[in-house]
Structure 1
Amino acid sequence: MAWNEPGGNNQDPWGGKRGNDGPPDLDEALKKFQEKLGGIFGGGNGGGGPQGGGLSSSALGLIAVAVVVIYALFGIYQINEQERAVILRLGVYSETKDAGLHWNPPLIDSVTKVNVTKVRSHSTRGEMLTQDLNIVEVNLSVQYRIGDAQSFVLRVRDPEASLAQATDSALRHVVGSTEMHEVLTEGREQIAVDIQARLQDYLNSYETGIEVDKVNVEETTPPAEVQAAFDDVNKAREDEERLKNEAETYANGIIPEARGAAQRVIEEATAYREQKVAQAEGEAKRFEQLLAEYQKAPQVTRERLYLETMQEVMANSSKVMIDVEGGNNMMYLPLDKMVGSSGGRVGTAKVTPDMIRDISNQVAEQLRRESVTTTTRRREGR
């Protein structure tokens, strides 16, 4: 039933009875509400006695303490080991705080946390001209981290966008000053080093606070129109490397062998030299000894030397010439034919010095006998 319907006992929503004098008094309603609050905070006696005009001093103190505590709690924060905090006081840079538990007044200081150990990555890909006016497509990735939190937060509006633009600029500058062959083959590592150095210079001049850790040239490809020709070039280079390796292998096998043969020849020459020197020294000593004997008995020594020499000369001869004392003719004996005919094997028998010596002695003995017989007959005839 609504409070103002007939039969509602003329009650108003503030708990009073509605009289015939008009609507309820708002001032009275506010006074009643104030009395109730006073009763709660101890500002009144809760009865119908006189009430205070507001909150008590103790209630206001409690409220103030609560507000201060809440304000202080909102200012407490923690910085992790991998983070740094940039503090702005009323919009002006104040300090940079390290890891730990810190407090800054809320609404006065602004705290911006930055992770300075996380390694971030940025990739870019594009087509560009080389120094010899060829088009190549390069896929590049940059690994970086934040080295200066203050510069990263305050110096540049968008540091990562600046990084992307600086990367493209450094890449095009380095590739544009390099020939296509170097970009596509063995020059990629040097290109990455040059790009990293140039990119870091750009970022330092912009004061972005970013430090580049690594630049990787992940892929370099020629245009699709010349891909087949480039594959042929790569195949030719692989064949060149293979032939070089085979040649080096062959050289590694031949050179030690040649060095060994050269060393062997040197050692043989050294041995031959030592042999000849020793032989010459021995001949010299033998000659000295022979000279001493010759000085003692010249005639005997001469005859002995003559006989030894003739023996050495005739030992290798297959013919013998004999001169008999008292005879007029010199006899010639073809021992090789004599030995061959006697054995029936011409050219197969080997004539030794002993055989020659025996035959010579027999022939000489026979000649002496014949000479003695001839001499005796001549004497008897006279």
Structure 2
Amino acid sequence: MNEYNERSTWRRMRALLSINDPRWGRSEGNGETKPRANESKRPPGGDGEGPPDLDEMWRNFNRRLGGLFGGKGGNGFRPDNGRAARVGVGIVIGVLVAVYAGSGLFVVPEGQTGVVLQMGRLAGTVGQGVHWRAPYPFASHEIVDTSQGRSIEIGRSNVVRLANVKEASMLTRDADIVDVRFSVQYRVRSATDYLFRSADPDRSVTQAAQAAVRAIVGTRSAADVLSQDRDALRQQLTEAIRRDLDRYQTGLEVTSVTMQSVAAPEQTQAAYGEVAKARDEREAAKRTAQVYANDLLPKAQGDAAKLIDEAKAYSERVVTQAEGDAERFKQVYAQYSKAPAVIRERMYLETMQEIYSNSTKIFVGNKGGNNVLYLPLDKLVEQGRHGAASAAAPAGASAADGTSASAPAAAAMPPASAAAAASAAGGDTLRSREGFRSRSREDDLK
């Protein structure tokens, strides 16, 4: 029974594999004779240029398999042998299984990362090289380029329809508008987050960059944004975009930000140009004032230090002189306590000596006995002034002027007048001394 089943299976396979046989469909019992082994296998009536006979090819294949596995070769091989059929089917199945298993091999190029999925779930990541995973549909893989840099431009000249403004227009703190254009360079840092947490990487980077630039520009005035250092603004944008991308776990990393332009809108560029010109002039004036201050301050500080030193020296001199006067007064007072009248007389004489040494003196004699005196005071005073102006030293000039003025006056006056004047002057002096002495005596009695 088993042999019959094997023979039937073999016949069905022969019928399936010999479709191109020109004798296909003709049974062996229809009166036709089987071809002999030494006869040509070409279809009858052919010219030898037709397609090969698949039935004959199958027979040759079976003969060779029979020779390999110990069967009879040549004309003694029986195609109905069940063992040979099983071997052939096993080989075919093995080849198919090997091809199916080999479909799980994949290669990850340099600079890329492979992500392996098993039954739809993440199984792991692999690096550069040849790897194997379970064939489809049990497993699959995705290859992500993690070394290639990508770039996206922010602030293009496109006009937003709803707001009727350019995409690059940003609102500042003082309600002004500035156009900010820059580009963001980024790459994939985490392949798994890039595949499963970021639906549109370019859109994620664009939204993060726009949010960052609006947050930075919105907290500053237009003048600050236009005059701010581009490197500082670029650094702030880079840090803000990185924070946003890390917070949403997009698997992307910002490598750099390139500032293209920060300018006022075209409608207000003329006004901003004037403002910038005024700002430059102000800065130039500030620099000039700073240079002048740097030149003036050292001089003023030197003059102040000099005045302070002079004031200290004057203070010390005055204090020393006052202390000396006080000490001298104490000494004089000690002597005055012993002889008050003598001390008063001496003080009076010293005072009068000091007064007369700095004043113009006129000596008049009254030897002739003439009581009428002629004193040209205006001329005498004028001569004294000229003499004081031409003198080198004030004290010497005063003494010289007094002597010179008294000599002509004495020469011009008559002898009687000169004697009378001298007598009057002497009498006045004696009267003054007597009055001073009387006052001193009264003080002593008191």
What TM-score range do you get, normalising by the shorter chain? 0.5 to 0.7
CA distance in structure 2 between the partners assigned to 1:17 and 1:145 by the alignment = 69
CA distances 1:124-169 after superposition (whole Å, capped 9, x unpaired): 3132455477665432211323233212112334322443455456
Match of 1:197 in 2: 240
> Which deviates more, 188-197 or 309-318?
188-197
CA distance in structure 2 between the partners assigned to 1:169 and 1:195 by the alignment = 12
Deviation, structure 1 residue 215 = 4.0
* Structure 2 stretches lacking a partner, 5+ long: 1-34, 47-51, 158-165, 411-418, 424-446
Q: TM-score, normalised by structure 1?
A: 0.64
Match of 1:294 in 2: 336
Decide which of 150, 159, 165 is 1:120's aligned counterpart.
150
Deviation, structure 1 residue 219 = 0.6
Q: Any conservation in 2 of the 1:174–1:191 contact (CA below 8 Å)?
A: no
Match of 1:34 in 2: 62
Change (3 A) 1:15 1:266: farther
> Which deviates more, 223-232 or 243-252?
223-232
* Structure 1 stretches lacking a partner, 5+ long: 1-11, 372-382
Q: TM-score, normalised by structure 2?
A: 0.56
Change (3 A) 1:204 1:99: farther
Match of 2:347 in 1: 305
CA distance in structure 2 between the partners assigned to 1:353 and 1:176 by the alignment = 86
CA distance in structure 2 between the partners assigned to 1:100 and 1:197 by the alignment = 36
Match of 1:279 in 2: 321
Change (3 A) 1:268 1:74: same
Higher strand proportion (structure 1 or 2): 1
Q: Any conservation in 2 of the 1:184–1:221 contact (CA below 8 Å)?
A: yes
Q: Any conservation in 1 of the 2:107–2:128 contact (CA below 8 Å)?
A: no
Q: Any conservation in 2 of the 1:85–1:96 contact (CA below 8 Å)?
A: yes
Tell me if 1:263 matches 2:286. no
Deviation, structure 1 residue 281 = 0.2
Give 1:16's aligned amino acid.
E
Residues 174-185 of structure 1 aligned to structure 2 (within 5 Å): 181=223, 183-185=225-227
Tell me if 1:104 matches 2:147. no
Change (3 A) 1:233 1:285: same
CA distances 1:68-108 after superposition (whole Å, capped 9, x unpaired): 6995796375675x654322113322223467875434544
Q: Could you say what secondary structure the match of 2:84 adopts?
A: coil
CA distance in structure 2 between the partners assigned to 1:214 and 1:275 by the alignment = 73
Change (3 A) 1:174 1:259: closer
Deviation, structure 1 residue 298 = 4.0
Aligned residues: 343
CA distance in structure 1 between the partners assigned to 2:315 and 2:388 by the alignment = 43
Q: Any conservation in 1 of the 2:71–2:77 contact (CA below 8 Å)?
A: yes
Deviation, structure 1 residue 35 = 0.5
Match of 1:9 in 2: none
Decide which of 123, 131, 152 is 1:94's aligned counterpart.
123
Q: Any conservation in 1 of the 2:187–2:252 contact (CA below 8 Å)?
A: yes
